[in-house]
Amino acid sequence: MLQPQYEDPTEHLWSLAWGRNISRFLGLAIELDALGKMGEEPITVTEASVRWGLPETSARVLAQSLCCMRILVHKNGLLTKSELAQNLAAGGFLLDECRKPLASIDVLKGELQSPKPQAWYQIRDDGQAPDDSTLNPGFYRKLHPIRLTWGEQLAGRYDFSGHRELIDIGGASVG
């Protein structure tokens, strides 16, 4: 897996600590539909505060955080959506899935202490999906070999020898 390289270990620790704040500010921006309410034209922080329903000082803090995340751009006193934000919105990324609340620390801890069976491994190992009303075992059992075939076909069509690493994003048989 590709790991970010930090010359100073403290820099890495600070980036991890900042991740919690990034998550919260991004979650708030999604909950407020901050990008949607901005429209397509550049706006001032004062205009953003009105559209977001926040005091101006709070809108400034949120805008600064979004600028640090490279989601907004601040130039000549105006806020605009970055190219990244436009691409994410065009790809449908900032939709309902992102609006779901994050699990509390207690819920996350409980899930890690008592993990649910992972359907993909059960399909791979014994051809059986777990008993779960959200899964259609027959469908996934049929889909899994097809996905393996697709992977093999891709490997046969593209020369990966020029690459040292490969990242598989969302490629499991069961979502």
- Residue-wise pLDDT for 102-140, tens only, equals 667 788 788 778 877 665 555 556 655 555 545 555 555
Top-level class of domain 9-101: mainly alpha
Cβ(63)–Cβ(79) below 8 Å: yes
For residues 89 and 71, which has the higher predicted lDDT (pLDDT)? 71
For residues 151 and 174, which has the higher predicted lDDT (pLDDT)? 151
For the chain, domain boundaries = 9-101, 113-161
Burial track 69-100 (b if 16+ CB lie within 10 A, e otherwise): eebbbeeeeebbbbeebeebeeeeebeeeeee
